[in-house]
Structure 1
Amino acid sequence: MSTSISRRKAGEDAEVIVVGAGPAGSTAATYLARAGLDVLLLEKSTFPREKVCGDGLTPRGVKQLIDLGIDTREEAGWLHNKGLRVVGGGVTLELDWPDLASFPPYGVVRTRQDFDEMLARTAQRAGARLAEQTTVIGAVTDERTGRIVGVTAKAGPDKTPVTYRAPIILACDGVSARLALSVGMEKIDARPMGVAVRRYYASPRSKDDYLESHLELWDRSDPANPVLLPGYGWIFGMGDGTVNVGLGMLSTSKAYGKTDYRKLMRSWLDGTPEEWGFREHNALGKIGGAGLPMGFNRTPHYRDGLLLVGDAGGMVNPFNGEGIGYAMESARLAAECVIQAMARREGPARERALAGYPLALRQSLGSYYRLGNVFSKLIGNPVVMRTATKYGMPRETLMKLVLKLLAGLYDQKDGDAFDRVITAATRLAPTVK
C-alpha cells in the first residue's frame, strides 16, 4: 500500500479514476498504484465474472503478464502451449512460437473468469481501491474548460446515483466504450470490427500443446455437399477436460452483420469428427458473443483528461483478433504517461505528458496496425482468402513468416531475416492515427 502524500484536491475522490476492471483497467491500475498514485478502479459487475473470449494468449500477451509481475509458470495454474496449429486448404501445419529476445517462447490459456479476477486482485494488492457493482454512465465535464473531471455512475445492487471526480480518467470500459461515447467520441467505421462467438465443450481434446486455428470453416452435415462458411475458427484446449471453441468474422466480409453466428458455429461443429465431442450434449453453457474493435477504431486516444485504453480505443490486433495482450500493452503505456503527468503541476506541462500517450501508441503499434487494417480488407474477400490458403499453407517457411507477422512476434533489433522483413514493412507503412 502506498504511503505517499495524496495530490487529491478538495472535492476529488482519487488522483486517477480507471473505468473497467478488465485486463486493460486492472493493468493500468496496478502500475499507477505501484507508482504511489491514489487510484479508484470502477467495475460494473462483481468478481468472479465470465467474459466471452478465446482464453488464449500468444507470447506477446504473456510478456505483458510477466512485465506486470504475474507468475506464468504452469505450477501457478497456467496451461502452456508451444505454438499454433493452422488448418486449411487440406493442410495441417504445427508452427512453434518463434525463439526471440523480445517475447517468451510459449503462449498460455486460462479462463477469463479466473484471469480477470486475478488481475483485479493484483491491482488491489498494489493499492488501487476497487469498487465493484459500479456502472459508469458518462463523463462529468467542466463547463468552463471542457475538461473531463469525473464520471457519473450507478452503484450497488440498488443502483444508487453517484459521482466520482479526479483530474485524469482512464476509459477501460471495453467494446461498449460508453464513457467515450458520452463525450461524442464515435468509432471510425472505415476501420475493421470483428465479431466472435464461443462455447465450452467437454472434450478429449482438452490438453493440447498447440492453439488450433481453422482458416476454413466447413459445414459437412451433408457429406455429399460440403459448404464453405465465412470466418475462421479456433479450438483451444483448457487443460481441465474442456475446450474453448469459437469462430470470428471480420466487418470486411460481406457476410458480416447478415449472419446468424450461433447457427454458423453449430453448422461448423456438426461437421467436425464425433470423437472430438463438439455436440450439443457435451456443451457447457450457452454460446456467447462479443465485438472485437480493431486497428485503433476509436480516436483520439487522449483528449481533455480522458485516455482510451484497450478495447475502448480499438486495440484488438486486426491481423489475428487478439485483444488481451494489446489491452495490457496500451494500459502500460497509458500508466507511464499518467505517472509522468501527475509528477507535474496542472497545466501545459501536465498536458504535454498526457499527449505522449497517443504518440507512444502510434510508435508502438501504429504502422503495424496500418498493415493489419489493409490485411483485414484483403482477407475479407473470400476469393483472396481461399487463394492465400491454397497456395500459402503448403509452404511452411512462408507460414513461419506469416505467423510472426500475424501474432506481432518479431525482434525489431538484431532479429532474423523474417524479423527484418516485418520491421522494414512496418517502417514503410504510414502510422494509424
Structure 2
Amino acid sequence: MAPEPADCEVLVVGAGPAGSACAQMLARAGLDVLLVDRQDFPREKVCGDGLIPDAQCALARLGVLDAVLARATTASHVACVAPRGWRVEVPANLAVLPRRELDEIVRRAAVEAGARWFAPARFEAPLADAAGRVAGARLRLADGTVIGLRTRWTVLATGAAAPPLLAADMCGRRAPSGVALRGYVRNEAVAGRSRQLEVVWHRALRRGYGWIFPCGAGVFNIGVGLLHGPAGIEPDLNLRELFATFTSMHAPARELMQGGCLQGELKGAPLRCSLEGVCWSRPGLLVAGEAAGSTYSFTGEGIGKALETGMLAAEAIAGAGTAGDAAVGRHYEAALKALKPRFAAYEHANRVNNHPWIADLVIWRAQRSPGILRRLSGVLDESYNPGQLVTARGLLRLLLPVS
C-alpha cells in the first residue's frame, strides 16, 4: 500500500487535462506539486474524444502532442449534417483519442516533470487558516481514512460535478450547462468507409446534436449532447431516449449500432460551459478546467480550454513569487477574463442548437460557397467568430452570394 501523501507547496486535485497540465507546468517551475485524483489511472471519462486545433496546440506546449498523435486517429474533415439531410465536409486539423489514453499521457508527463502522484483520494473540503485562507485540503483515501494536507496553494480541477465546488464554497450554480451521453461501438464493416468525424443536427434531437467519431481499430465514439437553451435543460430529458432517437433516425448511426458491438456501457456526464457558474479564485485556491466552466457552448468542446486554464493557473502561481494571494488571484482572473469573449461567441452560436433551421441554412449555403465553408473551418481553429453566423446580419449574408 502506498504511503499517505505528504504536505506540499501546491496540491492539484483532479488529474484530467486541466489538473495534469497545471501540475506539469508547476513541477517544471521547480515547485513541490502533489497531483491527486479520486480514481486511479488510467480510467474512463465521458467525452467525445475529439482533439481540435486548440487542444493540439496546448498538447504541443506540454510536449506530448507527438505521443498523442502516435496513438490517435487523425482526420482532415468533419462532416456537418443538417436536419434536412444536407451535408458539408469542413476541413480541419483533427484527431480522436479516447480520454482513457489521452489523460494518462498527460498525467504521466506531469509525473515525469517531477509532480508527485497519489490516487485514489477524494477531495472532501478545504482546510482554512485563522484568516479564512485556504491552506490545504481534507482528502478521503480508499480505505475511508480522512487525512489533512497542508499546502500553500490548492488547484481544484475536479470537472463538472458540483459537490467539490460546493465543498470549497466556489459554486455559483449547481445545475450543469449541458449533458452528454456516449458509448464505444466496434464495427469493422463501417470502419473501412467512415474515416472522418461527423456531427448531426436534427429537430428530433430536442435542441441537441449527435456525433460519430472514429477511434481506430474499427471502434467509434458515438454520442449525443444537449446544451442549455433559453429555458435551461428540459427537466424530463432522458439521454438514453435521445441516444435511441439519434441511432434510429440517422442512417449511419443506425448502421453502426445494428452491425456493431457496444464496448462497455453507455455513460453520461454533465457539462459546465462558458466560464460561468463558479468562482475562479479565493485566497489559497484556484479553480481550473471544466470545474471553472472551460467547455465551449455550441460545440461542447472542452479539452483544449481545460488544458489552457490549467496552464494559466500554473503561470499565476509560479509567477507570483512573494507577491501574495491577491496578486495570484488577479493574475489568474485577468487571464480567464481575456478568454471570455471567445466563450461568449460560442455561447451566442448555440442558437444553432436551439433553432435547427439555422443549421439547415448554414450547411445548405456552405455546400455552394467556399467562403462560408472557410468560415466554418475557422470556427474549429478559432480564426472566425461563430457568433457572427447567427446574427441578423450574418444570416442575411448567408442569403447573398459569397465567393
| TM-score, L = length of structure 2 | 0.86
1:83 and 2:77 equivalent? yes
Q: In the alignment, what sits opposite 2:304?
A: 325
Preserved CA contact (<8 Å) 1:15 1:167: yes
Give the structure 2 partner of residue 168 of structure 1: 153
1:419 CA displacement: 7.2
Q: Name the amino acid aligned to 2:136.
A: G
Tell me the distance in 1 between the aligned counterparts of 2:277 and 2:26: 24
In the other structure, the counterpart of 1:240 is: 217
Q: Distance in 2 between matches of 1:421 and 1:267?
A: 28
C-alpha displacement at 1:303, in angstroms? 1.1
The separation in 2 between residues aligned to 1:210 and 1:358, in whole angstroms, is 37
The correspondence for 1:28, drawn from 22, 26, 47, is 22
Is residue 56 of structure 1 aligned with residue 56 of structure 2? Answer: no
Deviation, structure 1 residue 72: 2.9
1:48-107 superposed Cα distances (whole Å, 9 cap, x missing partner): 11111111111111111111001437872121111211011321100102xxxxxxxx22
Aligned to 2:141: 155
Q: Give me the identity figure in percent.
A: 31
Q: 2:317 aligns with which of 317, 323, 338?
A: 338
The AA in structure 1 aligned to 2:182 is R
Structure 1: how far apart are the matches of 2:56 and 2:284?
30
* Counterpart Cα distance in 2 of 1:93 and 1:130: 45
Partner of 1:428: none
Q: Distance in 1 between matches of 2:67 and 2:37?
A: 28
Q: Match of 2:95, SS?
A: strand
Structure 2 contact 272–294 (Cα < 8 Å) conserved: yes
Whether 2:346 is the aligned partner of 1:360: answer no
Indicate which of 255, 266, 282 corresponds to 2:261: 282
Unaligned runs of 5+ in 1: 1-11, 98-105, 219-227, 411-417, 426-433
- Report whether the alignment pairs 1:371 with 2:345: yes
Question: Does the 8 Å CA contact 2:160/2:176 hold for their aligned counterparts?
Answer: no
CA gap of 1:367–1:85, structure 2 versus 1, over 3 A, is same
Query: Is 2:349–2:386's contact at 8 Å kept on the other side of the alignment?
Result: no
Matched residue count: 376
CA contact 1:45–1:134 (8 Å) conserved in 2? yes
Distance 1:194 1:403, change over 3 A: farther
1:250 paired residue number:
227
Pairwise CA distance, 1:179: 3.4
Indicate yes or no: 2:183 matched with 1:199.
Answer: yes
Are the counterparts in 2 of residues 270 and 279 from structure 1 also a CA contact under 8 Å?
no
Alignment partners' CA distance in 2, 1:74 and 1:314: 24
Match of 2:326 among 351, 371, 375: 351
**Deviation at 1:289?**
0.2
Q: Does 1:139 align with 2:126?
A: yes
How far residue 408 of structure 1 moved from its aligned partner, in angstroms, is 5.1
Q: CA deviation at 1:141?
A: 1.2
Deviation (angstroms), 1:146: 1.0
Q: Which residue of 2 aligns with 1:259?
A: 237
- In structure 1, the partner of 2:107 is 120
Cα distance in 1 for residues equivalent to 2:112 and 2:287: 24
Are 2:352 and 2:359, in contact at CA under 8 Å, matched by a contact in 1?
A: no
Match of 1:409 among 368, 374, 382: 382
Structure 2 partner of 1:109: 96
Following superposition, the deviation at residue 250 of structure 1 comes to: 1.5
State the shift of 1:229 in Å.
4.5
Query: 3-state SS of the aligned residue for 1:93?
Result: strand
In structure 1, how many angstroms separate the alpha carbons of the residues matched to 2:360 and 2:385? 24
Alpha-carbon separation, structure 2, partners of 1:188 and 1:148: 21
What is the Cα-based RMSD across aligned positions, in Å? 2.6
* Counterparts of 1:308 and 1:314, CA distance in 2: 9
Question: Is the partner of 2:8 in helix, strand or coil?
Answer: coil
Q: Residue type of the partner of 1:138?
A: A
1:47–1:138 distance in 2 versus 1, CA, 3 Å: same
What displacement does 1:421 show? Answer: 10
Q: Which one-letter code corresponds to 1:294 in the other structure?
A: C
With over 3 angstroms needed to count, the CA separation of the structure-2 counterparts of 1:145 and 1:41, relative to structure 1, is same
Alpha-carbon deviations, 1:109-132, whole Å to 9, x = none?
111111111111111100000101
Moved more, 13-22 or 192-201: 192-201
Unaligned runs of 5+ in 2: 1-5, 392-403
Counterpart of 1:91 in structure 2: which amino acid?
W
Give per-residue Cα distances to partners, 1:275-312, cap 9 Å, x unaligned.
Answer: 83313862121110011100112333111111110011
Q: TM-score, normalised by structure 1?
A: 0.80
Q: 1:400 aligns with which of 371, 374, 379?
A: 374
Letter in 2 for 1:401: R
Q: Would the alpha carbon gap of residues 216 and 62 (structure 1) be closer, same or farther in structure 2, given more than 3 Å must change?
A: same
What letter is aligned with 2:329?
Answer: L
Look up the match of 2:88: 93
Of 2, 5, 8, the match for 1:14: 8
Within 2, Cα distance between the matches of 1:40 and 1:248?
Answer: 34
Moved more, 385-394 or 243-252: 385-394
Tell me, in whole angstroms, the C-alpha distance in 1 between the residues paired with 2:296 and 2:227: 12
Distance in 2, matches of 1:135 and 1:321, equals: 26
Counterpart Cα distance in 2 of 1:148 and 1:295: 26
Code of the aligned partner of 1:197: L
SS in 2 for 1:277: helix
Matched-pair contact (CA < 8 Å) for 1:192–1:373: no
